[in-house]
Structure 1
Amino acid sequence: MNCTYRSIWNDSTGTFVAVSEDAKSAGKKTSSCSNATGSAAAFALQALALSVALAFGGNAFAGPAGGVVAAGAANISTAVGKTTINQSTQNAAINWQSFNIAAGEAVQFVQPNSNSVTLNRVLGADPSSILGSMTANGKVFLVNPNGVLFGKGSSVNVGGLVASTLNIADSDFMAGNYQFNGAGNGAVLNQGTINADGGYVALLGANVGNDGVIAAQLGTVALAAGNAITLDVAGDGLLNVSVNQGAVNALAQNGGLIQADGGQVLLTSRSASALLPSAVNNTGVVQAQTLVTGEDGSIMLMGDMQSGTVNVGGTLDASAPHGGNGGFIETSAAHVKVADDVKITTLASAGKTGTWLIDPQDFTIGTNSGDDIAGTTLEGQLVTNSVVISTVETGVNTPPTNYYGATNGVGDINVNDALSWTVSSGVPTTLTLNAARNVNFNANITATGGNLVANAGNDVIVKAGLSTGIRATFAAGDSGNITWTAGNDVISNSAVTATGGDFTICCGRDIKINGAVTTTDGDAILKAGRDIVIAAAMTTTNGNVLLRAGSKPSAEVPGLIGGTVVFGPGVRYTVNGTAPVPEAVTVDSTPASYATPNDFSGNFILTGGATLTQHMLVFAQGNDKVYDGDRDATLSFRGDPTLGGTVTLVPGTGLFDTKDVGTDKPITYTGYSLGGADAAKFALWGTCTDVYGSGVTSAAITPAPLTLKANDATKVYGTTFTPLSTAFTVPVRPVGSETVTAVTETSTGSAPTASVAGSTYPIAITPDSATGANGFIATNYTITYLNGALTVTPAPLVLTANDATKVYGTTFTPAGTAFTQVGLLNSDTVTSVVETSTGSAPTASVAGSTYPIVITPGSATGSFTPTNYTITYVDGKLTVTPAPLTITANDVTKNYGEAPVLSGFSTTPLANDETVGSVTETSPGQPATAPAGTTYPITVGSATGGTFTPSNYDIGYVDGVLTVRPLPVIVPPVETTPIETLPDVPYEGPVVKPGVTAPTWMPVVVPPGTPPELLTLAPPVVPPVVVAPVLVVEQPPVIVAPETPPEIYVAPKRARKQDRN
């Protein structure tokens, strides 16, 4: 450590704490400890320390217990007085039932490298007490919602430490996403010593505090109070902390020593709501000095900007005692209270002094109990620090600069207590007051060798005396400046003295000097948007004077609204020049008419060679232009100053703030000047910080024309049209190299149901959808959108008649549904068609088939719309099959010895009343010699003639029967034999025709059991004779007459013996 510290009693924590050796042990108590939030939260910290002391007073549970690895890989080993965690993965999470280290005990984390992290989460119900030693070569997280205490005498030496009552998920932790959240009731308090050089120490929870020592050289120490906090480890080892959700009575407090030389210290808290308080309290020492190697430090006490309070006490040290520049200190909250005995330093022994920024909602310098800082306290800090008090959101580096329009909001800065300081080194310090609304000087200010800057969004009001001066030891050119800027008015009602520096006022409306102003060895510069009213004596010695009235850039015609210098009755401005360079007095005003210039020569007392130059202000205004892709701007006169003489505006360089379209766009211009024979009578106006020929004006950039046309397109009915983002042309192109690369297009014909009859459909480009490249922005153009045309063409539809078959002679009547379809879309249907065929008539022949079955074009009906389709009709085939026809030969009977002609036949009915003319018939029994006693087939075929066509029929021929009858015979009688004695043997015996000798005849053999029937005898027996075996003739023989077929009638057979039963 660089400093010596001693211990004093801290009322808020009830403990001895380390402080700077020159800190007071008692005094006027205006520190944060007296506020309600600080007291309540501090009680929580004291309660934590007490509860831990009671719970572990007997050294019970000396080390961590019940550890289970939840993520990553680690091994836990215990020995007497020591617990070792050997971690083998980069990150590891361990759940413990308790995590404590008793006095004299040690816990060591052995990790793969300095960036390794071990998360230790306590699941039990007791807070963690660290009274012994904890070491780690990497980072250690300790999470216990019940609280964490690093007690007196404890020692922590790690690469990084996070102690939190807020939980973190294992998955977030393992991924390096350090998001902590929860509503733990415990507090985090350090009373021991924590070291993490080059790393970070973060105490997180609703109530966090330090009453011990925390050191992290070139690192970060953060005490953050809230219920949701995010840590972001930067590549340089520093830690970014964000409090995402506040907590009730959130408190971050330091009563000990926090040292982060070359690094950063952050104490921050956030309220649970805008109506609930939170606090950041410092009563200890916070040190972040600049290192010998040049790394400066920063200290930030950041409270809630809605309802929080930062109580600034103790010591905040961001100095540079060993070289380099001083650091940066910020104390920001809705309310910032500075203790009388606070010590703030950013002093640099050899470099630039740093800055202390105070950033509240409102701020009052005064001695009343409700004021924010006493005058004596502030002036003591100004001896070695530049101090910025800012009530604007932009903070230290951006004071109000829109001096031509008031902010008119909360954010006053009130100087109600006198300030007087003299710088203690060769570097001037500056008190800067940046007010969102008004800066009110209600007490005297004297700055010897220092600067006073007041920037107000609304008014700067001076009711007390102000003066700045220069010490004799300052080198030439060193100064103490007074600078006031305001959006509206600057009103000075008291005496102002500026010695050795400039006195500058710039405002958007009026400057009113109601108290005497004296400047010595510095310039007096007054610039007003409207009038400069001098109602009290002004004196400038050894300095130049510039009075510029009416420099407000507006469309108002000069002279119609103020814009001049007004001197009160009898009031004179005295300018004392010194040789050899006389002082210059310049008055720039807006005349009522350029033809009648103002003359203020009678209002000045000029001595020592001082000279007066008067100008009529001329106004350069920006010229509107059409967007052309660049920022180039041109200017011209507003009004007509040529009424006062020959004058021209010589161009310089003008640039719009951006190249893009807009109205009242700021134009910054430089290098403009006046030309012409009478140019010396005029002066160009400018803003507070501008010299002649440079300034800010405005003009409009109007959109350039651009035409986009959607391409025409075609789609088939039933398909969805999806326009391409590049399907467009650009008849009128963007400027320069800009290109339009894509648009969004829509069409009412996009749906698959869009009909052919309804087309064409418009393809429209969606307004403002155009994107591009090379700087293209659609709003820079007035875009004309031309529609494309979407033509819907018919979809192909094929209707095919079904094939069919009919029998010759029948009529074919096609069914209206006898077809198939291919190509219907959108649930369209074709339910019927009309079909015809040349083969429909019954006379259509088999030989002529197949016949086409033709769908009549345009005959289709159904739910479809015919115009949505290009219909192709495919014929079906009608096949005519032969009709069945049976031709039967007629039966014929002939007598033996005859040879008949066979020609008789019959047919089944023919179609169409057709007839068969003839057939061919043959029979083996046709010859005269064909034996009698049997039948012969009459084979018929080859039907021809008549009116029929044989191919139209499937002809079946049926044979007839030719019967050959024998000549008549006489069957001799057969003796009757009793049935009982009939032999069961075949009968054999001759059959003799009368008048024919016996040898002519062959015996007839009839097998037993042959039923009586007509038999035809096989050759050489000519006459058919039918007999039965063992015949019994019941009647006399019958002689068959020749005119009937030769037959033998046989009496019925008697039953055989075996049949008699």
Structure 2
Amino acid sequence: MTQMLRARQVLLLGCSVFAGCFSLAAHAASAGPAGAVYDSSTMAVSRSGTVTTVTQSAPRGVVDWASFDVARQESVVFAQPDAQSATLNRVHSATASAIDGAISANGRVIIQNGNGVVFGSNARIDVGSLVATTLNVDERSFLDSGRLVLTGSGDSSAQVRNSGRIKVADGGFVALLGGSVANDGLIQARLGSVTLGAGSAATIDFTGDGMVQVAITDPVTHKATEAGALVANSGIISADGGSVVLTARTARDVMALAINLDGVVEARSIGTSAGKVSLLAEGGQVQLGAASRIDASGIGGASGGQVAITGTSVNLAGGARIDAHGEGAGGTILVGGDYRGQGTLAHAHDVTVASGALLDVSGVGGGGKVVVWSDGATHFDGQVLAGATGKNAAGGLVETSSSGLLDIGANAAVSTYSALGRTGTWLLDPTSLAIVASGGSASSPGEANGATGPSSINASTVVSALASNSVQLVADNLITVDAPIVATTLAGSPNGLELITTGPDSEIHVNAPILLQNGNLALRAEGNILLGTVGSTETDFTRRAIIATGSGTLWMQTRSTGSIIQADNSAILAENIGAIGGTVSLGSWDNFTLNLAGSARSGTFLFRETNASNTSPVGTVVDPFTLQTLSGVEQTTTDLLQTQEFTSTTAPTGPVDEVLNLALTGAQAGQTFDTLVFSALPYQPLPGNSNQPDPSLTDSSDYGVRSLTYSIGGSAYTVAPETTAANRPAGFALAAAGGSVVTWTNPVYTTAAWGVEGFSGVGGTDPEEIGYHPQQSISENLIASLGGATSSVTAALRLFFAPDFGVQFAEAAQVQFYRTTTTPGTVQIRQVSLSGTPNPVSREYGDANPAFSFQGSGPTFLGVDQYVASQISGYELPLPTISTSATPTSPVGDYPLVVTPPPTSGFVYDRYTYDFSNGTLTVIPAPLSIVSDNFLKTYGDADPELTFGVTGLKNGESAATVLSGAQGRTAGENVGHYPTNIGSLAVNTNYTIVSYTPGNLEIVPRPLTLLADSDSRVYGDTNPGWIAAGQNSHFTLTGFVNNDQTRTNLSSVDFATTANVLSSVGAYAITPSNGVLTGAAAGNYVLTYADGSLLIDPAQLTVAANNQSRLFGEANPTLTATTTGWKNGDQVSNTMVAALSTQATELSNVGTYAITVDSAAISGPAAGNYVIVR
């Protein structure tokens, strides 16, 4: 504190008659501000209850407070002339100001307390604008101009914190400044700005358009103690249509966590008012936590806003969200730097975007821009959305790069896809880059931060990116492809992959396949492009430089000092191939293209391929990315004739081009040349300046070529960017080394000039001019092929100045003169045939045709073709087919096996010649097996039909249609077994009988029936005498055939019956047996017996009345009868009952009267064996 300020304090505290004094004692017990000292001519402080009112009549006023606390029930009201009025409240308390009540104002309120300003959770601030700071405010500057100049101690850790609610008027601003700043409450500044800044000195300027500029001018020198950050936001900051800045500046030896964001920051675009969010840490770290949200999206049809984040180290944790998408176009998100390290945003040393972090610049009207950049190490494993959804809308630009180490994690995902327009680009731009199978260059973000060595990206990440982006991988020194890139889905127009190296002599090494299914591939290097390792004997296709783009284009280009070299075990398969280099040697016979253009600009051109037509595929090829056109195949011998240097003499006073007359000098004067190479040199000191340019100077010579005027063959030409092709010499062409040819217009000029866009990070050098890089000691080169020989050229150089923008140096240029001799390049064609003859095969009649195959290995595709076809479509390898007219019903015979080559279009047709011969299919008879049935017949009968079974019939045919003739058998008719034989059976020509299984005809004896005679007898009599053994009669024989009865005898037949003398009346069988046949035919018969019948008739019982006598007149005596004829003593067990009668009565006269047996009946067991005779 100065002596003047101390004197003023004494005066103020003395409460002179010239100053107001708000009594401290009167409000000692108050919870509101106390001890106010102010200029009463313009200020007044009053209190009513819990309300403190500060009334101000001047635009700016100062109040010094002994304390400035606002309890929850307290409020402070600032009554100011207008919204631009400002009140500086300087607090001289020994403690921080505790504000937990309400503050309102229609203008700007500034609260300064060196021990801290704390807005509690109940604080409600509603003012036009607010500044709260722990830094000292320069009173004089404030009162004179309103500009706030803030100074303080760098090691002060006094904090400004908001836990309450701060709201300012639309267009107002909030600035919380000090050694440590935190917000865990709510800050609102619609259409205005919010700044949270940590530093030991700062300025706040108010511009005429109402904008506020806050600058931290000196760093803090202490480390943060709370939340690990000098500036922390875990609350909500909202400034829709405006801007939010979180900034901290730390001393180099502090390396603090400068900014920590765990809360929400909103600055959404409204209409044409684009939102902007900046997190800027100079010398410290920036951390976005998992719950952090930055929203700069465009709402209500607006485009997305801008987000810029940088610091020594920047870390976006998984879950962090940065949203700059637009309902119009997408916005811009810059993390760690701008595009390719250009622009004014300070570079981060290391940046980490963790898995799960999201950056969104997608838009309806077009995708926006996302850049993740570092000078030391970039680890990117998050997600970026930069696509477009509107009709004809283009996808955006995404760059994840580093001038040191670049590590693309396995979870990295980028989409610039546009379904209805041109897909955007994903650019990776490290110092060197390896495309690897897995693992990247670090196992964790911490390992990636600060790492050195080559950067890497997983091949799978590149493949995923190609599905929704046109991918551009750019490195300063080297790109190596060490793992296969196999992409079957590509998006964008043009769809494909660019590998670009920009440093001098930088190279591209392809050591693994790049297979793009109908995509485009560009390889651009300042030095060499090496496809595989020359002399390599590697056989694993996944470790060989195999490039295939289907119907797409392969474009390879180096500067004239570089070469394109292909190893013999590599291959290029692309419908279109363009190659430009110093020497081009594409000598693998496995190559294939339909359209080739190439130029070797300082050496030889060789291209070999295998094709079917045996014709050179030379034509015109267009680079699908730059639209550069190349026709024919040529090789050029380029001789450097002379190098000349020029120093500018043109002062930068207006839109004037410096004109150079370019011609060979000395011994070469008057000779012709046809190519000029323009480059830039270091600054040259102006007269009177003996100092050489400082190598650390970030500015150097840069210029453009406005026009070239010269004559070729008597025709005069002036060629400028706007000159049409018809008015340029045939063959005029521009190329670049160290970048790409661009056409640009400086605002001072109305016409355009040519330049080269390649360098990044050269602060004062225009990226579109031909510039010299003072740190790397290299220049971009513009190569002008004039289209013919000339002896002089008038060149107009644009923005070629001396002195250059106040630096005491002049710009310098170098021009090299070349003469070229062009001859046709060498294209060699080899033919490879698909050849083969089918193996001869045979099959049986009726069978399906077998699988046909070729003799030996048959037609064989090149191994590289088989590998590519197994990975992507567009290289299908249809084999020739073998067919025949023979069907299962075709008769026995020979049939040709006809080879049908692959289709007459497609890769195989264009790649291979055909040399096939027909083969033979032999249809041989089908084998038949015949199995005879077995048969049985009785002696004397005719043979049955000799049937059989057949196996092997085909096509539903039957034996009847296939076979003719009949089986035979062994001769003989006597009883016995007679085998069958094939007899006269025969088959048609489609069959052959391979086996015959005989059957058996068995002749069995014929039955000869012996029928016994029948006989009868009476009950109780003995059986007839012939029913006995050894009889030669009483039978009948039937069944003889073949008149065998004449030569066969039968004797000694036994007859038997069960009947005996006791047998009851009835029929009894007479059973013959044991007959004996004799004679020649006896063996052919078997006797069968038929019983005769023995009938036993009832015996007669005679019942006769006994004679009786009596006297006349007497009663008749008992009439009796006598029975005779009983057998077997049956009268014992049986009873005869007879009824007798007579006509004699007592009155009958004497005489003889008959006694009649009226009836008789037998009862007993044998009653049935008798009949009664009376």
TM-score (norm 2): 0.46
Say whether residues 1:428 and 2:422 are aligned partners: no
- For the pair 1:220 / 2:214, whether they are aligned, the reply is no
Give runs of aligned pairs for residues 84-233 of structure 1, distance below 5 A.
84-175=53-144, 176-183=146-153, 184-196=156-168, 197-233=170-206
2:158 & 2:741 partners in 1: Cα distance?
Answer: 58
Partner of 2:598: 587
How far off its partner does 1:604 sit? Answer: 9.8
Query: Residue 614 in 1 paired to residue 633 in 2?
Result: yes
**Pick aligned residue for 1:286 from 265, 275, 291:** 265
What is the rounded CA distance, in whole Å, between the counterparts of 1:252 and 1:287 in structure 2?
Answer: 17
Out of 495, 503, 515, the position equivalent to 2:484 is 495
In structure 2, relative to structure 1, the CA distance for the partners of 1:253 and 1:695 (3 Å cut) is closer
Q: Determine the structure 2 residue equivalent to 1:467.
A: 462
Please give the residue correspondences for 1:57-68 in structure 2 after superposition, counting only pairs within 5 Å.
Answer: 60-68=29-37
Contact kept in structure 2, 1:144 and 1:166, CA below 8 Å: yes
- Distance, in Å, in 2 between the alignment partners of 1:182 and 1:776 is 35
Any gaps of 5 or more consecutive residues in structure 2?
1-26, 225-229, 338-346, 418-423, 437-457, 533-544, 578-592, 621-631, 651-656, 687-691, 694-699, 714-728, 744-752, 757-768, 773-795, 797-801, 813-1174
- The answer to whether the aligner puts 1:254 opposite 2:221 as a matched pair is no
The answer to whether the 8 Å contact 2:415/2:469 transfers is: yes
Kept in 1: contact 2:290–2:319 (CA 8 A): no
Supply the distance in 1 between the matched residues of 2:412 and 2:86 (Cα, whole angstroms): 54
User: What residue identity is the alignment partner of 2:258?
Assistant: A
Indicate conservation of the 8 Å contact 1:652/1:669, yes or no.
Answer: no
Task: Give the superposition deviation at 1:532.
Answer: 0.8
Deviation at 1:609?
A: 7.2
Q: Which runs of structure 2 are paired with 1:325-336 in the superposition (5 Å)?
A: 325-336=303-314
SS at match of 1:686: strand
Note if contact 2:78-2:104 (Cα within 8 Å) is conserved in structure 1: yes
Give matches, 1:63-78, under 5 Å.
63-69=32-38, 73-78=42-47
Over 3 Å counting, the alpha-carbon distance change for 1:698 and 1:162 in structure 2 is closer
Contact 1:305–1:332 (8 Å) recurs in 2:
no
Taking a change above 3 Å as real, the CA distance of residues 530 and 361 of structure 1, as seen in their structure-2 partners, is same
Give, in whole Å, the separation in 2 of the partners of 1:453 and 1:673: 40
Q: Which amino acid in structure 2 is aligned with residue 614 of structure 1?
A: V
Measured in 2, the distance between the counterparts of 1:780 and 1:420 equals: 44
Question: What is the CA distance between 1:311 and its match in structure 2?
Answer: 5.2
User: Deviations for 1:677-725, whole angstroms, at most 9, x for unmatched residues?
Assistant: 9x9999754243227996559799xxxxxxxxxxxxxxxxxxxxxxxxx
Return the alpha-carbon distance in structure 2 between the equivalents of residues 194 and 285 of structure 1. Answer: 15
1:467 is paired with a residue whose SS is helix
Within a 5 Å distance, the mapping from 1:374-773 to structure 2 comes to: 374-378=354-358, 386-392=369-375, 411-415=376-380, 417=381, 423=387, 425=389, 428-441=395-408, 443=410, 447-450=414-417, 451=424, 453-454=426-427, 456=429, 458-463=431-436, 464-465=458-459, 466-467=461-462, 480-496=469-485, 497=487, 499-500=491-492, 501-507=495-501, 508=503, 509-520=506-517, 522-535=519-532, 536-551=545-560, 563-576=562-575, 585-592=596-603, 597-602=604-609, 611=619, 613-616=632-635, 623-625=644-646, 627-629=648-650, 630-633=657-660, 649=674, 665-669=701-705, 685-687=735-737, 688-690=739-741, 696=756
Question: Does the 8 A contact of 1:167 with 1:181 survive in 2?
Answer: yes
Number of residues paired by the alignment? 600
User: What amino acid is the match of 1:686?
Assistant: A
Residue identity in the other structure for 1:690: V
SS for the counterpart of 2:217 is strand
| Contact kept in structure 2, 1:281 and 1:312, CA below 8 Å | no
**Kept in 2: contact 1:263–1:298 (CA 8 A):** yes
Task: For 2:233 and 2:771, locate their aligned partners in 1 and report how far apart those are by CA, in whole Å.
Answer: 54
Determine if contact 1:310/1:335 at 8 Å carries over to the other structure: no
Matched, 1:315 2:293: yes
In structure 1, the partner of 2:1102 is: none
Instruction: Looking at secondary structure, tell me which structure has more strand per residue.
Output: 2
Contact 1:622 1:699 in 2 (8 A): no
State the 1:448 CA deviation: 4.9
Question: In the superposition, relative to structure 1, how do residues 418 and 340 fare at CA in structure 2: closer, same or farther (>3 Å)?
Answer: closer
How far does residue 240 in structure 1 lie from its aligned partner after superposition? 2.0
User: Structure 1's 654 and 156: CA in aligned 2 closer, same or farther, altered over 3 A?
Assistant: same
Is the Cα–Cα contact under 8 Å of residues 200 and 219 in structure 1 kept in the other structure?
A: yes
Aligned to 2:273, what secondary structure does the other structure show? coil
CA drift of 1:611 comes to 3.7
Instruction: For residue 97 of structure 1, report the CA deviation from its aligned partner.
Output: 1.0
1:390 to 1:422, Cα distance in 2 relative to 1, 3 A: closer
Range that drifts further, 274-283 or 113-122: 274-283
Give the direction of change, closer, same or farther, for the CA distance of 1:666–1:660 in structure 2 (3 Å limit): farther
CA distance in 1, matches of 2:135, 2:811: 53
Give 1:241 deviation, angstroms: 2.0
Contact 1:650 1:672 in 2 (8 A): no
* Structure 2: distance between partners of 1:774 and 1:379: 40
Q: Which runs of 5+ in 1 are unaligned?
A: 1-57, 365-371, 393-410, 473-478, 552-557, 701-735, 737-771, 783-1061
| Partner SS state of residue 573, structure 1 | strand
> Residue 534 of structure 1 contacts residue 568 of structure 1 at CA under 8 Å; is this kept in 2?
yes
Structure 2 CA distance for aligned equivalents of residues 224 and 326 of structure 1:
25
Taking the aligned partners of 2:804 and 2:336, their CA distance within structure 1 comes to: 44
- Conservation of the 8 A alpha-carbon contact between 1:530 and 1:564: yes
Does the CA contact (< 8 Å) of 1:265 and 1:300 recur in 2?
Answer: yes
* Cα RMSD, aligned residues only: 4.6
Q: Is the 8 A contact 1:649 1:672 kept in 2?
A: no
Instruction: Give the drift of 1:363.
Output: 3.9
Whether contact under 8 Å (1:382, 1:431) holds in the other structure is: no
Give the CA deviation at 1:542.
Answer: 3.5
Amino acid at match of 1:576: E
Cα contact 2:332–2:361 (8 A) shared by 1: no
CA–CA distance in structure 2, aligned partners of residues 691 and 339 of structure 1: 39
Deviation at 1:543, TM superposition (A): 3.2
Inter-CA distance 303–317: structure 2 relative to 1 (3 Å threshold):
same
Query: Any idea what the Cα deviations from partners look like across 1:631-686, whole Å, max 9, x if unmatched?
Result: 33566799x99xxxx99538899999999979995453477799989x99997542
1:836-884 per-residue CA deviation (whole Å, 9 max, x = no partner) reads: xxxxxxxxxxxxxxxxxxxxxxxxxxxxxxxxxxxxxxxxxxxxxxxxx
CA–CA separation in structure 2 for the residues paired with 1:591 and 1:652: 14
Say which SS state the counterpart of residue 260 (structure 2) adopts.
Answer: strand
| Structure 1 residues 419 and 569: alpha-carbon distance in aligned structure 2, compared to 1, 3 A threshold | farther
Letter in 2 for 1:321: I
Contact 2:203 / 2:217 at 8 angstroms: preserved in 1? yes
Hey, what's the Cα distance between the residues in 1 that align with 2:122 and 2:384?
Answer: 45
The alpha-carbon deviation at position 73 of structure 1 amounts to 2.1
Contact 1:194 1:214 in 2 (8 A): yes
SS at match of 2:140: helix
Note closer, same or farther for the CA distance 1:671–1:110 as it changes in structure 2 (3 Å cut): same
